Amino acid sequence: MIVGGKDVGERPLILAPMEEVTNPPFREFCKRYGADWMYTEFVSADALVRSIDKTVRKLTIKDEERPVTIQIYGRFIDSMVEAAKIVEEVQPDFIDLNFGCPVKRVAGKGAGAGMLRDIPLMVEMARQIVQAVKIPVTAKTRLGWDCEHIIIDEVAERLQDVGIAALAIHGRTRSQMYTGEADWEPIARVKQNPRIHIPIIGNGDITSPEKAKEAFERYGVDGVMIGRATIGKPWIFKQIKHYLATGELLPELSVSEQIEVIKEQILQAIDWIDEVRGLLHMRRHMACMFKGLPHFRDLRIRMLQAPTVEALWTVFDEIRERYKDYRFK
């Protein structure tokens, strides 16, 4: 798959941009387990232009994680263009325009998926950013604002026409947020459009190797973007790659193996911020782990409430001992 002259591999598996999730430590783990292409957390153009420290830190990337995309969002063309120029100085492989974030504080102010209510503004913003930077510019969006306005066909053509190098499409509308099932038929329709020649990346409900295979084979997308299914399970990339190559499902990691992975993630998160905030940050990941363990409620509560690394390690030891013979189905 070629994006703006850069080869990102055949049938790439792509880590979706997620706020407070896709920071450098987490991206490192996803890369280790086979992710082909990384996205950072999405970055506020206004905050970046104002040099807000927390936002500027989101531009931290490493050569080991390439190809890597820095995604920006905003509702004003001038600040988005200026932010794109700032991002370009960090030398990511791509800059991505967030036209899909559905949360109220973003979309409600006209940014992210809010752009789906003003397509001329979206297209003009994309055009000016493409002209302002030398590295490839991609975009990520949704099917439309709501089910009465599925406009992805028009959006894809118009973004391509102003120079967008690849388009990632989440198979939901903004109004759906993350509810219901993603609809991949409109994504397939865009891909099959004879006017479309840029890569089309599918996103939404890729939670298993089987669903990733279906995305490639039934819907014909060039790449698959995986988001929430990676939380607490960065090894999903390895599982998908193995299945695509062999048709066989890898066994789930054992309880002990999952503990070793999450412990390393926790230590890196703490090193990235500090112990208190690192543990709070990792609770989201831990809450998604060990699904299916019987009689786990008491240990889950203690795990998620552990105030220190020492206390958490004690809980992990108890989990390891209680479920040492357990095998996930």
Average pLDDT (298-324) is: 95
> Whole-angstrom Cα distance, residue 158 to residue 291?
43
At 325, is the pLDDT very low, low, confident or very high (cuts 50, 70, 90)? confident
- The 10s digit of each residue's pLDDT in 174-220 is 999 999 999 999 999 999 999 999 999 999 999 999 999 999 999 99
**Given this model, what pLDDT does residue 170 score?**
97
Quick check: is 147 catalytic?
Answer: no
pTM over 0.85: yes
Q: Which helix (H) or strand (E) holds 299?
A: helix 297-305
Choosing from 30, 101, 147, 288, the catalytic residue is: 101
- The 10s digit of each residue's pLDDT in 74-97 is 999 999 999 999 999 999 999 999
Q: Which residues pair with 38 in a beta bridge?
A: 68
At 327, is the pLDDT very low, low, confident or very high (cuts 50, 70, 90)? confident
**Given this model, what pLDDT does residue 163 score?**
98
Side by side, the strands of the sheet bearing 223-226 are 13-15, 223-226, 200-203, 167-170, 137-142, 94-99, 68-73, 38-44
**Given this model, what pLDDT does residue 292 score?**
86
Which single residue is written with the structure tokens 């819907």?
219
- Is a pLDDT exceeding 80 seen at residue 329? no
CB-based burial, 259-291: b 16+ in 10 Å, e otherwise: bebbeebbebbbebeebeebbebbeebbeebbe
CA 280 to chain centre: 20
Report the CATH architecture of 2-246. Answer: Alpha-Beta Barrel (3.20)
- The 10s digit of each residue's pLDDT in 228-263 is 999 999 999 999 999 999 999 999 999 999 999 999
> Whole-angstrom Cα distance, residue 100 to residue 145?
9
- The 10s digit of each residue's pLDDT in 108-158 is 899 999 999 999 999 999 999 999 999 999 999 999 999 899 999 999 999
**Given this model, what pLDDT does residue 44 score?**
97
Q: In this structure, are residues 313 and 290 in contact, taking their beta carbons and an 8 Å threshold? A: no
- The 10s digit of each residue's pLDDT in 264-294 is 999 999 999 999 999 999 999 999 999 889 9
